[in-house]
A and B are shown apart, each in its own frame.
Chain A
Amino acid sequence: MKPRTGIGGNLIVQSLAQIGSGGLFLLTLLAAIPRSLRYFRETLRQLWFVGAMSLTIIMVCGLFVGMVLMLQLYHVLSIFGGTSASGMVVALSVYRELGPVVTALLFAGRAGTSITAEIGLMRATDQIDAMEMMAVDPIAYVATPRFLAGLIAMPLLTCVFCAMAIFGGHLVGVTWLGIDNGTFWSNMTAVVDLRTDIVNGVLFKSLAFGTVVSLIAVYQGFATPPTSEGVAYATTRTVVASSIAILAIDFVLTAFLM
């Protein structure tokens, strides 16, 4: 697990090295799952930290995304006299794209950065080395629980986000703009499909994003140069790499799943 190569190193070789060592790190993490079962409480604690503590931001953002989406759609669709379809469009766009993507971006900013910073600081202050001295496997105790927690938390957070977005859309559309309540729901239920929208859209995508974001966060933490500057640098990298990875993977997944 070599960190970055030297300054001015070939960019392509550098990125390939990053992807390669990231992939190898994923294998290490997966192989450490049986060993990390001993630290189940640690996984639970991380789940509480990355999942339950992220609920506030996810719920508030979901609510506002649903509200603003409905507001925008209402004004565009009213030109064509199609405002009754707005509930359906809110549901489809949230399930297929906005829910998983925005949740993953928020998750990268809220939880990914703190995972990187925490592990990076552990490294900078030689705590990781101390664990190895005490025969505690740092991968099984530090890395895998955080990775698993992110993996479990992402789909659940995305579901909460989507539910809040629907609630926000309903709030603006039905309560404020006066779309008929029955029309709102019947149009939505007529179009939204369990397999393509909920399972493929919400669950599958968010699971993929959860894997990638958690992997990048943990990997960047372990690859942090042991300086305070290095921690800052690694945290930034987590957000940048996660965002790019989320959007790129989103495109690929959409192309395959549609």
Chain B
Amino acid sequence: MSQPRSSYAVGTGLFIVLGFAALAYLATQTTSIANVHQGASYTVDAHFADIGQLKDRAPVKIAGVRVGQVQSISLAPGQDAADVKLSIDTRYDRIPLDSVASIYTSGLLGDQYIGIEYGHSKKVVANGGTLALTKPAQQLEAMLSKFFGAGGVADNLGGTYSVTARFNNVGTLSVGAPVKMAGVPIGSVQSVQVDPVKLDAKVTLAIDKRYDQIPDDSAAAVFTSGLIGTQYVAIQPGGSPDVLKNGDQLILTQSAMQLEDLIGKFLVNGSSNGSSKPSTTPSGKH
């Protein structure tokens, strides 16, 4: 009777050991624990005007290499800057006092992390010290408006002339959106209206007077900058010897592409995986 019992015991023991081994494997190899360096660390403060989506335990990186993590994020009452405590590995204890801590986003949609760029000071940050120089998280909206805020450029230069263009669909084009030629801002959208008779959109473009050599058969198209960017009007020059004058109308226009249409087309084509020609896909182009 003792023989089978001991085999039970051995089998059960093996089972328990295997179960705990699997647990240890899951917990240490496949979780964020695998990223955490267990060594000693020291704490550094940094104050940010805007932390964006930064979370506790977000990585702290120097030159893209993980050197620590965010320990805590707090906002002291009466202050307008978030106090972020960084826990940095003691191996990296030579960070100059005038280094800059910035909040970055990994990729377009990724999580945010703190990047530290070294300064030139001889003094280094001690445990409990503060990194005085910080750059807040960049808000996408602010970046886009900086990047595409071309209307201001044209306005600053003074004189503009107006041309109109008619579109079946302007998408989300708004007043003040840039007008670009060859990618360079040359003006801005002055007004977007629906023509009550023709039932299409009438867009008035204010173009800088310096660019007065645009052929009058040029085409206007509503494009989107990047995947999620704002929309702008692109002028594609034609070949006519005559140039656009104030009050002229652009005849050739291309309306805004709807992302839904594009994705729909893309998915239908993607699922057929190139085995059939695009023209034979069930969704007809229009």
Interface residues of A (CB under 8 A from B): 41, 44-45, 47-48, 51-52, 55, 79, 91, 95, 152-153, 155-157, 159-160, 162-163, 166, 185, 188-194, 197-198, 202-203
Contacts and interface: CB of A to CB of B under 8 A. Distances in A.
A157 B31 contact: no
Contacts of A185: 29-30, 34
B27 A194 contact: yes
B16 interface: yes
A55 B270 CA distance: 41
B211 interface: no
B243 interface: no
A155 B32 CA distance: 21
A185 B34 CA distance: 10
Contacts of B15: 47-48, 51-52, 55, 153, 156
A140 to B, nearest CB: 19
Contact of A41 (B5, B16, B29, B30): B5
A81 to B, nearest CB: 10
A162 B35 contact: no
A189 B22 contact: no
Given A44-B12, A163-B26, A194-B27, A189 B19 contact: no
Nearest to A163: B22
Contacts of A191: 32
Contacts of B8: 44-45, 48
B132 interface: no
Contacts, number: 88
B259 interface: no
Given A51-B15, A52-B15, A79 B26 contact: no
Contact of A188 (B9, B16, B30, B267): B30
B26 A162 contact: yes
Interface of B: 5, 8-9, 11-12, 14-16, 18-20, 22-23, 25-27, 29-35, 111, 267, 270-271
A95 B31 CA distance: 11
A52 B11 contact: yes
A218 B32 CA distance: 39
A47 B12 contact: yes
14 contacts: A44-B8, A47-B12, A47-B16, A51-B15, A52-B15, A153-B15, A155-B23, A162-B26, A166-B30, A189-B30, A190-B32, A190-B111, A194-B31, A202-B26
A163 B25 contact: yes
A194 B32 contact: yes
B270 A160 contact: no
A163 B20 CA distance: 11
Max chain A CB contacts within 10 Å: which of B5, B12, B23, B33? B12
A45 B12 CA distance: 8
A52 B26 contact: no
Contacts of B270: 79
B26 A48 contact: no
Given A44-B12, A79-B271, A55 B31 contact: no
